[in-house]
Amino acid sequence: MLKIENLHAAVDGKEILKGINLEVRPGEVHAIMGPNGSGKSTLSNVIAGRDGYTVTKGGISWNGNDLLAMAPEERAWAGVFLAFQYPVEIPGVNNVYLLKAGVNAKRKAQGLPELDAMDFMQLVREKAKLVELDPAFLSRGVNEGFSGGEKKRNEIFQMAVLDPKLAILDETDSGLDIDALRVVASGVNKLRNAERSIVMVTHYQRLLDYIEPDVVHVLADGKILKTGDKHLALELEKRGYDWVRAEAAGGATA
Amino acid sequence: MTSAVQSLRDAAWQMYEQAGLPTLRSEDWKYTDLAKMKAALGEEWWKPAEIDSASLIDLAEMERLAIPTLDAYRLLFVDGRFHESLSHKPAGIEILPLAEAIRENADLAGELLRVDETSPTYTGLVAANSALAADGACVRIKAGIVLDKPLLIQHVAGRPGAAHICHGLWLGERSEAHVIEHYCGVGETARLTHAVTRVYLEAAAVLRHDRLQMEQPHHYHLGRLEVTQQRDSSFESHSIALGAALSRVDLSVLLAGQGASCRLNGLYLIGGRQHADHHTRIEHAAPYCTSREHYRGVIDERAHGVFNGKVIVNKGAIKTDSAQSNANLLLSKFAEVDAKPELTIDNDDVKAAHGCTVGQLDKRQLFYLKSRGLSEVDARQVLTFAFADEVLASLKLPAVRRFVERAAFARLPHSDGLEEMLA
């Protein structure tokens, strides 16, 4: 279980997250929505362990362990996965090679034997189908020359192969046309199961039409201002974010 | 030795004595200090290794130094001397060891060893090589001949002292060959390999040339490759520097005939206190010639890399198409590189591009790899290797590519099991 308690985080000395509280149980899909600059991406990056973010207060535990004390690769071995908003291109590093190194590093950390090449390729081919990824992309450099949609598809493909217990999808819908969105969303839906927690960070309600969340949170000004079910997302789509802010401010003064 | 060759050698030695070794005061040598070499080898740095009858290396050692699975003809030089018995010469190609040419063929030896003091790349070293080169390979490929297998010129070094070598490659019209110069060695003592290769490509000749410098950590390496290209000829080079305490390679290409093209690729991957210097010079002297240059450097610890890429476009060389890029990766805060493109263009009808970068590993790429489960060490290793492999990927022979990749990979810190990324 992911448990975030009173999380404060700063970038370049500026406080972005100002006390986040969040619990995600196995099998749950949470959506975190919010306007630009609300701290959505900061939250994703802090969970994945990117450099440059300083946690000034509070903490994150993952299955009872202190997530913030772990290096990014240790988080990956513990089952945490971030689907990047802007996946970076890595020319010269083969897509499949990266996944094989990732899968085997995780197995090694868990005391399991490495997958043999045949079993691994079978796994890869099976998962590529899940997001309708052209097999030609497997042997290319990581994201090298991929379109925006192909990059996002590749992220979900990697998620499928790495089989995380916690997946953070950071603006996975941005830059996708409607057909690509359907494919990516259907891939994610097939990856939903009773053990896996999924946190979708998104600006738009559109993604939630295809991946139905169990819980929706509104993140604004570095805090979760409101939590509800999928109907909250629809209301946000209709009314924008200002009413949530006003309500929260009213609640604070009341 | 014929008296004509003797007097040429005497004159060359006088030129050397007059010019001396290049010093830091010379613009082309300001980053490479041969005083260090002199300190290691002594005032008589040039003194040839003493060759006795006992063979330096045995067959088992040769096996260890070989390029695995490479199917090639081989000319073996041990401490600068040709070893006929361990060589495998191609039939139908004229190959004469320079030592023999010096004794018996004054014209050939003279053609190869003649020193042009007016050449823009002339230094005392060039003269010293002509004065002292004891052996080498004179290879003449007649018009229309396509060499069916690559020709490996392997240099094994080990004895203290200097080996001065001079090779000549003459490719006739429409002939084609792939030549690999492999410099390797054994032993812990300081020594010098001083190797000059002169290449003459007649019209429409095609030469692929891989120069692999993998000398021992205490060895010094001074190399030179001079190429003259006639009409429509094509030259593709890979110059790899992994070994030696100090290495310097001067590569100059004269595009003398219309429509000639050259492609120069290079990689220097060094650590410790290694010093590797690549000076290249491409002169466009005829119209419609193309030159491409792509050098990369990976510099770790306290190593020092130098790249200088001159491109000269003469007045009459219209429709020149030239592009150069040099990228350097510094892996430690003590690593150093001096990189400089130098374009001199004397006419307006030219396409010339160049780019030069010096940087560290990309933090975003590192984080991406780690977020997928790669350890810090492996992520760094993978990115470093991928950077270097951009150059190695264009090595045409799979056996050579694998060989160099493995040697480069072995130089980088990594976890066990990561080698499979080379598979």
List, for residues B114-137, the tens digit of each pLDDT value. Answer: 999 999 999 999 999 999 999 999
| Per-residue pLDDT band at A56 (split at 50, 70, 90) | very high
Across the interface, which of A73, A84, A142 has its CB nearest the CB of B370? A73
Angstroms from B310 CA to nearest CA on chain A: 28
Judged by a CB distance cut-off of 8 A, whether residue B203 touches chain A is: no
The DSSP 8-state label assigned to residue B355 in this structure reads: E
H or E stretch at B350: strand B350-359
Which one-letter amino acid corresponds to residue B281? R
Comparing alpha-carbon positions, the chain A residue that sits nearest to B380 is A93
Is the CB of B364 less than 8 angstroms away from the CB of A88? Answer: yes
pLDDT in tens, B170-182: 999 999 999 999 9
Angstroms from B321 CA to nearest CA on chain A: 26
Mode of pairing for the β-strands spanning B350-359 and B320-330: parallel
| Per-residue pLDDT band at A36 (split at 50, 70, 90) | confident
Provide the ipTM. Answer: 0.95
Tell whether the model's pLDDT for residue A252 goes beyond 80: no
Angstroms from B372 CA to nearest CA on chain A: 5
| Per-residue pLDDT band at B56 (split at 50, 70, 90) | low
Q: How far apart are CA B80 and CA B43, in angstroms?
A: 21
| Per-residue pLDDT band at B414 (split at 50, 70, 90) | low
Q: A101 to chain B: which residues are within 8 Å by CB?
A: 372-374, 378, 382, 418, 421
Q: Are B277 and B309 in contact (CB under 8 A)?
A: no
Which pLDDT does position A136 carry in this prediction? Answer: 87
Q: Sign of the CA dihedral A39, A40, A43, A49?
A: negative
Tell whether the model's pLDDT for residue B53 goes beyond 80: no
Which pLDDT does position B245 carry in this prediction? Answer: 97
Q: How far apart are CA B96 and CA B345, in angstroms?
A: 40
Touching A: B residues 353-382, CB under 8 Å: 362-365, 367-376, 378-379, 382
Q: What angle do CA B214, B217, B218 make, to 5 degrees?
A: 120
Angstroms from A84 CA to nearest CA on chain B: 9
pTM, two decimal places: 0.91
Angstroms from A68 CA to nearest CA on chain B: 14
Query: Which residues 6+ apart lie within 8 Å of B78 measured at CB?
Result: B55, B56, B57, B155, B156, B157, B158
Judged by a CB distance cut-off of 8 A, whether residue B325 touches chain A is: no
Q: Which of the residues B372, B389, B414 would you substitute to probe the A interface, choosing the one with the greatest number of A C-beta atoms within 10 Å?
A: B372
Nearest residue to A150 (alpha-carbon basis) of A202, A217, A95: A95
| Per-residue pLDDT band at B54 (split at 50, 70, 90) | low
Helix and strand totals (H; E) in chain A: 9, 12
Q: Lowest mean pLDDT: which of A168-182, B327-341, B389-403? A: A168-182
Q: H helices within A64-94, ranges in order?
A: 72-77
pLDDT in tens, A45-55: 999 999 999 99
Work out the average pLDDT over B345-369: 95
Structure tokens at B370: 């780690």
Tell whether the model's pLDDT for residue B422 goes beyond 70: no
Judged by a CB distance cut-off of 8 A, whether residue A75 touches chain B is: yes
Which pLDDT does position A254 carry in this prediction? Answer: 40
Q: How far apart are CA B362 and CA B367, in angstroms?
A: 9
Q: How far apart are CA A62 and CA A81, in angstroms?
A: 12
Judged by a CB distance cut-off of 8 A, whether residue B75 touches chain A is: no
- Helix, strand or coil, per DSSP, at residue B2: coil
Q: Are B365 and B378 in contact (CB under 8 A)?
A: no
Q: How far apart are CA B199 and CA B202, in angstroms?
A: 10
pLDDT in tens, B257-306: 999 999 999 999 999 999 999 999 999 999 999 999 999 999 999 999 99
Nearest residue to A98 (alpha-carbon basis) of B162, B218, B94, B386: B386
Structure tokens at A180: 């690509």
Tell whether the model's pLDDT for residue B423 goes beyond 60: no
Work out the average pLDDT over B354-378: 95
Which pLDDT does position B190 carry in this prediction? Answer: 92
Distance of CA B126 to the CA centre of its chain: 15
Judged by a CB distance cut-off of 8 A, whether residue A142 touches chain B is: yes
- Helices A148-162, A117-130: axis angle to 10 degrees equals 130
